[in-house]
Amino acid sequence: MKALWKNVVLAESDETIVVEGNHYFPQESINRRYFRMSDHHTTCAWKGRASYYDLVLGDDVNRNAASYYARPKEAAEEIKDYLAFWKGVEVQA
């Protein structure tokens, strides 16, 4: 699977985990030069507290477009530190 934004590969892995229709990519599969930590957080009732990254390509910034769970609830333990994408990021096989 590949995660792309503006035709740039952000992550690529054969070992994604699918949860609720979203592919979660392992941390080692992301191209870190396009990721910037965000101070944004949300809470999911069954997964726990999500943290976010902004995506940065030159002057283009896609705020909070990648999320991960550093300390998920027990029900979501399998996606600990895996990243999911949204906000215009295309995930394809």
Place of tokens 């990254």: 53
Amino acid at 1: M
Residue 50 pLDDT grade (very low, low, confident, very high; cuts 50, 70, 90): very high
Classify domain 2-92 at the CATH class level.
mainly beta
Q: What is the largest CA-CA distance in the chain?
A: 38
As given in the structure block, the two tokens for residue 54 are 């902004």
Contact status, residue 89 vs residue 4, Cβ threshold 8 Å: yes
As given in the structure block, the two tokens for residue 73 are 């609830």
CA pair distance 73, 68, nearest whole angstrom? 12
Q: Indicate the domain borders of the chain.
A: 2-92
- 59-72: pLDDT as tens digits: 999 999 999 999 99
pTM, two decimals, is: 0.95
